[in-house]
A and B are shown apart, each in its own frame.
Chain A
Amino acid sequence: MPLIWLRVAVAFYGVGLVYSILLLSKRGNLLAKVVEPAVGLGLIFHFVSLVESFVLSGHFSLASIHNSESILAFLAMVVFFVFFVGYRTVSPGIVIFPIVFLLTLASAIGQKPVALTSPLLRSGWVFVHVVLIFTGYAGLFLSFGASLLYIVQERTLKSKHPARLSSWLPPLQTIDEICYNSLLFGFPFMTLGLAAGSVLAIDKYGPYFFYDPKILLSFLMWIVYMLLLYMRWSSGWRGRRAALLATVAFVVALGAWAANYFSRIHSFRS
């Protein structure tokens, strides 16, 4: 049953994906009016699916990699909506929607998921660690998306081309605020998440845990994240430079995510 709800959610997120593709291919924003309720409904079905799977398993757990992807997509969407309510613009969705769609699709595809059997994953603490880190990721995604939009809008304004000026993009300052505030929003989650993970790992494996590629990449990401915030705070980095750094953070984050497959400690396949 949770899988069915998840697939419904994927269908709704698909509207968001099409919206993004239409915008990127300059076909105009035909779906502007429906995209917002569509992804909203997607989010609701997604929530139902998650709750139901937890109820079925009896505890908060990450039964499979696909399950964790679903949670990441869900949190990214939640963070997106938090900012949507604040700024009334769906434009960062142009980056968020495809990410969310792909993550959800991956977890909804019917193939038998890789089961994670480690008993550790049953622990509520691990769940907290994952949710915190994922929320941090979501903030980073949004910031990354917004910083790309910032560059586009900056170019548009500098090109002085009147036709392009009447675009769908929100004002530069709004994009900038989304960019910064989503970073600010995500950072404490990321920090706490890493702290929680470290505490758990030290508890289980001792200080040895630190030499794992996953862990190293995660900390690298945290450093880049902090650097982004610091440059932004101290010298007001934005536009090209900020986007570049955000891209680095995003790539490191992808690396950290993918590192699950190389990591001994973090693979949870006993």
Chain B
Amino acid sequence: MNLIVIGVNHQTAPVEVREQFAIPEARLPEAVKCLASYPGVEEAMIVSTCNRVELVARTKNGQADIRDCMRNLYGVDPEPYRQHLYEYRDRDAIRHVFRVASSLDSMIVGEPQILGQVKEAYATARAVGAIDSQLDALLSRAFAVAKRVRNETSIATSAVSVASVAVELAQKIFGDLDGKAVYLVGAGKMCELAARHLVAHGAKKIYVGNRTMERAAAMAKKFKGEPIPFERLYDTVDLADIVISSTGAPHTIFRKEHGEKFLSKRRNRPMFFIDIAVPRDVDPEMNKLDGIFVYDIDDLQQVVTSHLGDRKLEADRAEAIVENEVEKFLARLQTLDVVPTIVSLQEHLETVRQAEIDRLRGRLGSLSPEQEMAVDALTKGIINKIMHTPITTLKTAARAPEATTVIDLVRKLFNLREVKETAVNEESAVSTEKTEVRN
């Protein structure tokens, strides 16, 4: 499996760089298609969230120049960002995909949103036909691993989400959140989550501003809040003490001069801007104004990491699970791979041929070297002719979702023992795992 993952995440790149590589939801299908149809790429998917952008691709022979493809995709040369980009191949790539799905690579280790985001990215890639059998197998396994990590360790249950950190900071500013007003700019999921937390801690009034009024209304309804048309944004934001912004806008929405206006309208009562958008919605310059506090996603991370200490142990256990799953997946890949099956099939037929020749050698009497060669050529020819179609079928089948069935069938038909043994081993591995779980 020639798997390659190239990406940036919150650890390797500051928000300014991630902004360069982020792909808005609306453009994602087109981008995936572009990646998947790049020469040398067989299957592909793209995960783009505010904390990471991951380009996952399976290539024909590991030679496809994904970086060149990125140049087309973004219209930006990735070379200046070399230090921020990471690249994983094969085994490391599998591990990385597993870790991302299990939320071990998240800014907030154990936060549940990433799994949903990966699932969505997978669905998008599938919908445009960018995913075939192997990535399909990888992703289904990744989801299973994520589930296992969630069930067997406690990292998810003690997850400190961005939302709860936002609440904590809001309490540092406003004390009791009772009666505080919250303004959601953009109607995204993160916004909703953060708002839910704030409401749970006493925030009363919710305003929702969104480009499409229907979405704003739908979101406002959830909180019994008030939808506000986007045109009125700058006239109304000062109503709120806490502003959560997560729009997909390519430029900042709130700049310093806006902040000054808000403050004078609010008679300098403090405001807290939580900017979870990438690219950012709030100009960091705003933080310099007396009475305005701006936290972007990276700032929240800093606070979050300080909460992480005690969860190190659970994270280690989760890493061990991922490692174990990577091994298992690789083992399975080998059985999935048709090459060993074809090789053992050929070996099997070759032994049959040799045995038959040896058996009938006596009856043929003495043969001249030319005759010997003719017999060899004859028997080999028959086998090759007969096997040509099945082997081609096997090779094509490997790329189709039903690969396992076909390979299994071939193994059964020819009673190919070696492969069978591996299968038995895997089965016993599964049963030991089950007993472990029971214990």
Contact surface of A with B, Cβ cutoff 8 Å: 153-154, 157-158, 160-163, 165-166, 170-174, 234-241
Q: Do A171 and B306 touch (CB < 8 A)?
A: no
Q: Do A170 and B269 touch (CB < 8 A)?
A: no
Say yes or no: A239-B290 contact (C-beta < 8 A), given A160-B302, A162-B302, A165-B303: yes
Contacts of B287 in A (CB 8 A): 158
Query: In the assembly, what is the distance between CA of A162 and CA of B299, in Å?
Result: 9
The closest CB in chain B to the CB of A151 belongs to B290
Q: Do A237 and B268 touch (CB < 8 A)?
A: yes
The 14 sampled A-B contact pairs (Cβ below 8 Å) are: A153-B172, A158-B287, A160-B295, A165-B169, A165-B172, A171-B172, A172-B172, A173-B175, A234-B267, A235-B268, A236-B269, A238-B268, A239-B268, A239-B290
Contacts of B299 in A (CB 8 A): 160
Contacts of A161 in B (CB 8 A): 302
Q: Do A170 and B173 touch (CB < 8 A)?
A: no
Q: Do A235 and B175 touch (CB < 8 A)?
A: no
The closest CB in chain B to the CB of A175 belongs to B175
Question: Could you give, for residues 153-181 of chain B, a 1 whenever the CB lies within 8 Å of some chain A CB and a 0 otherwise?
Answer: 00000000000000001011111100000
Pairs A-B, 4 closest by C-beta atoms: A236-B267, A171-B175, A236-B268, A162-B306
B305 interface residue per 8 A CB criterion? yes
Residue among A154, A173, A234 with the highest chain B CB neighbour number at 10 A: A173
Contacts of B266 in A (CB 8 A): 236
The closest CB in chain A to the CB of B287 belongs to A158
How many residue pairs, one in A and one in B, have C-beta atoms under 8 Å apart? 56
| Interface size in chain B (residues, C-beta < 8 A) | 23
Shortest Cβ gap from A239 to chain B (Å): 5
List 6 additional contacts besides A173-B173, A173-B175, A238-B268; criterion CB under 8 Å.
A157-B293, A163-B306, A165-B169, A171-B171, A172-B173, A236-B269
Query: In the assembly, what is the distance between CA of A174 and CA of B171, in Å?
Result: 10
Query: In the assembly, what is the distance between CA of A165 and CA of B166, in Å?
Result: 13
Chain B, 112-171, CB within 8 A of any chain A CB: 169, 171
B270 interface residue per 8 A CB criterion? yes
Contacts of A174 in B (CB 8 A): 175
Say yes or no: A240-B174 contact (C-beta < 8 A), given A162-B305, A165-B303, A172-B270: no
The closest CB in chain B to the CB of A239 belongs to B290
Contacts of A239 in B (CB 8 A): 268, 290-291
- Cross-chain contact of B172 among A157, A235, A237, A241 (Cβ < 8 A): A157
The closest CB in chain B to the CB of A154 belongs to B290
The closest CB in chain B to the CB of A158 belongs to B287
Q: Do A235 and B267 touch (CB < 8 A)?
A: yes
Query: In the assembly, what is the distance between CA of A162 and CA of B306, in Å?
Result: 6
Query: In the assembly, what is the distance between CA of A238 and CA of B266, in Å?
Result: 12
Contacts of B267 in A (CB 8 A): 234-236
Contacts of B295 in A (CB 8 A): 160
Query: In the assembly, what is the distance between CA of A163 and CA of B287, in Å?
Result: 19
The closest CB in chain A to the CB of B174 belongs to A173
Contacts of A170 in B (CB 8 A): 175
Residue among B171, B173, B295, B299 with the highest chain A CB neighbour number at 10 A: B173
Q: Do B268 and A158 touch (CB < 8 A)?
A: no
The closest CB in chain A to the CB of B299 belongs to A160
Query: In the assembly, what is the distance between CA of A189 and CA of B380, in Å?
Result: 113
The closest CB in chain A to the CB of B272 belongs to A157
Contacts of A162 in B (CB 8 A): 302-303, 305-306
Q: Do B290 and A241 touch (CB < 8 A)?
A: yes
Q: Do A238 and B169 touch (CB < 8 A)?
A: no
Contacts of B270 in A (CB 8 A): 172-173
Contacts of A238 in B (CB 8 A): 268, 290-291
Shortest Cβ gap from B311 to chain A (Å): 15
Shortest Cβ gap from B159 to chain A (Å): 17
Q: Do B302 and A158 touch (CB < 8 A)?
A: no
Question: Could you give, for residues 278-307 of chain B, a 1 whenever the CB lies within 8 Å of some chain A CB and a 0 otherwise?
Answer: 000000000100110101000100110110
Contacts of A234 in B (CB 8 A): 267
Query: In the assembly, what is the distance between CA of A160 and CA of B295, in Å?
Result: 8
The closest CB in chain A to the CB of B302 belongs to A162
Chain B, 172-195, CB within 8 A of any chain A CB: 172-176
Query: In the assembly, what is the distance between CA of A153 and CA of B176, in Å?
Result: 16
Query: In the assembly, what is the distance between CA of A171 and CA of B191, in Å?
Result: 24
Question: Could you give, for residues 398-438 of chain B, a 1 whenever the CB lies within 8 Å of some chain A CB and a 0 otherwise?
Answer: 00000000000000000000000000000000000000000
Contacts of A160 in B (CB 8 A): 295, 299, 302-303
Shortest Cβ gap from A231 to chain B (Å): 10
Query: In the assembly, what is the distance between CA of A165 and CA of B175, in Å?
Result: 14
Shortest Cβ gap from B165 to chain A (Å): 9
Shortest Cβ gap from A67 to chain B (Å): 40
Contacts of B305 in A (CB 8 A): 162
- Cross-chain contact of B174 among A158, A172, A236 (Cβ < 8 A): A172
Shortest Cβ gap from B120 to chain A (Å): 30
Query: In the assembly, what is the distance between CA of A158 and CA of B172, in Å?
Result: 12
Query: In the assembly, what is the distance between CA of A90 and CA of B290, in Å?
Result: 25
Shortest Cβ gap from A171 to chain B (Å): 4
Contacts of B306 in A (CB 8 A): 162-163, 166
Query: In the assembly, what is the distance between CA of A199 and CA of B173, in Å?
Result: 45
